[in-house]
């Protein structure tokens, strides 16, 4: 995540039938967006539901709060393999030390190569625009031109946070110095690198590897990790997932997605002319593109914390198709070859068309595309300059 945009992970193609009974009815009373923009599961899109409540006060903001609390426990995997919505060692474990056995032995030593990595840096005074994806930066810059709407949305945040806090504290484990202390240490270290105040970290029982946040830095910012993600990932990979969600918080994607939804709701609510203008502006397409760009931004945040491209790519690899039983045989280099094969296949006329249709409705970039973009960022002057100017951790 939007938790998927979740920041709760936003899955644009979730099955409406899987939502909690009565939820869709409440959602229809609140939302007036066209069907393409209405989320099937408001629990995964609290920022959209909040936008609708703000744009139609007579519906009552309490309707949204009740819906959110009712379905917040039903978090699903992000579309496009979101984190909601980061992995293993940088090396090809399956080939080291004579095959899978050598890889497993390396895993037991604890970390798959992180111990030999160069000392990491921290970034004092780091601003979000120092690592944001260009389109993400452009979109948030445009939305800052609506200061009145931004203030209204921020004013509604405390009520949302109270609803989310009650759900998290009742149904999850709050990580702290005396509760899952190793995870708490990973969180504090990631926050120190990104120069952020640590949010609450919750662990929730769920068989789908996932993580999410509301992506708003209010009084009670939080991150939730699923237990299955902890089982699948190495410690450094779990930290990369945490860093991805910290990226959403650093950029406050929840605020800007809500604001964009309010603007879209306003246009589509103006009848035929408003809908025509919105379509001519390509508003829906731009929102989806922005959602994907925001995920690229947060992958960069994960890279700033891990400072090892293989760790972050390994996380994407595991989210795309990893399993506990085959973890020792996963190969980051082979996964990156898939990205090259995808780029090659999409260069033909038919390939370009298929690529466009494949990604048009996705809120999250394809895993192989995310891996390729991470490698490019890790070699860019932007990233190398940040690391060069960083302070010892």
Q: DSSP states of 104-144 as a string? A: HHHHHHHSTTGGGSPPPEE-TT--GGGT--HHHHHHHHHHT
Query: Which pairing describes strands 222-226 and 200-204: parallel, antiparallel, or unpaired?
Result: parallel
DSSP 42: G
**Helix locations, the chain, DSSP H:** 23-30, 46-55, 61-71, 100-110, 134-143, 147-171, 181-194, 227-232, 235-251, 253-268, 271-280, 283-306, 309-321, 332-345, 349-359, 367-378, 381-389
In the annotation, is 245 catalytic? yes
| CA 301, chain centre distance (Å) | 11
| Sheet hosting strand 222-226, strand order edge to edge | 173-174, 200-204, 222-226, 211-212
Name the active-site residue from 150, 234, 237, 245: 245
Structure tokens at 66: 């009740």
User: Collapsing DSSP states into helix, strand and coil, what is residue 174?
Assistant: strand
Which residues face 123 on adjacent strands? Answer: none
Residue 265 and residue 283 in contact, taking contact as beta carbons nearer than 8 Å: no
Compute the distance between CA of residue 213 and CA of residue 7 in angstroms, rounded to an integer. 5
Question: Which contiguous run of DSSP H or E holds residue 200?
Answer: strand 200-204
Structure tokens at 311: 């760790």
User: Collapsing DSSP states into helix, strand and coil, what is residue 334?
Assistant: helix
Structure tokens at 174: 């709050």
Compute the distance between CA of residue 53 and CA of residue 388 in angstroms, rounded to an integer. 45
Which residues are the active-site residues? 245
């Amino acid at each position: 995540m939007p938790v998927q945009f979740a920041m709760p992970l936003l899955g644009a193609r979730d099955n409406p039938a899987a939502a909690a009974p009565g939820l869709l009815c409440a959602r229809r009373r609140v939302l007036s967006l066209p069907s393409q923009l209405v989320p099937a599961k408001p629990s995964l899109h609290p920022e959209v539901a909040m936008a609708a409540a703000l744009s139609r006060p007579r519906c009552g903001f309490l309707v949204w709060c009740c819906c959110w609390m009712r379905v917040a426990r039903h978090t699903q995997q992000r579309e496009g393999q979101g984190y909601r919505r980061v992995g293993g060692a940088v090396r090809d474990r399956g080939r080291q030390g004579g095959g899978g056995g050598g890889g497993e032995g390396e895993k037991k030593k604890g970390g798959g190569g992180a111990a030999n990595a160069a000392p990491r840096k921290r970034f004092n005074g780091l601003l979000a625009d120092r690592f944001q994806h260009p389109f993400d930066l452009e979109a948030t810059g445009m939305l800052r031109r609506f200061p009145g709407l931004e203030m209204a949305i921020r004013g509604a945040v405390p009520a949302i946070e109270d609803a989310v806090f009650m759900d998290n504290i009742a149904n999850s484990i709050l990580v702290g110095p005396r509760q899952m202390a190793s995870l708490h240490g990973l969180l504090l270290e990631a926050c120190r690198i990104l120069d952020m105040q640590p949010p609450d970290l919750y662990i929730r029982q769920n068989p789908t590897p996932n993580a999410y946040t509301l992506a708003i830095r209010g009084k009670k910012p939080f991150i939730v990790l699923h237990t299955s993600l902890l089982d699948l990932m190495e410690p450094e990979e779990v930290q990369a997932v945490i860093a991805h969600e910290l990226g959403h918080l650093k950029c406050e994607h929840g605020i800007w997605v809500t604001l964009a939804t309010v603007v879209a709701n306003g246009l589509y609510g103006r009848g035929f002319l408003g809908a025509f203008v919105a379509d001519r502006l390509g508003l829906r397409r731009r929102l989806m593109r922005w959602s994907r760009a925001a995920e690229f931004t947060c992958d960069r945040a994960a890279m700033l914390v891990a400072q090892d491209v293989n760790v972050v790519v390994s996380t994407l690899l595991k989210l795309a198709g990893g399993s506990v039983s085959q973890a020792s045989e996963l190969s980051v280099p082979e996964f990156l070859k898939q990205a090259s094969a995808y780029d090659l296949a999409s260069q033909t006329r038919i390939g370009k068309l298929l690529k466009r249709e494949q990604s048009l409705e996705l809120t999250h970039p394809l895993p192989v595309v995310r891996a390729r973009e991470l490698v490019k960022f890790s070699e860019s002057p932007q990233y190398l300059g940040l690391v060069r100017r960083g302070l010892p951790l």
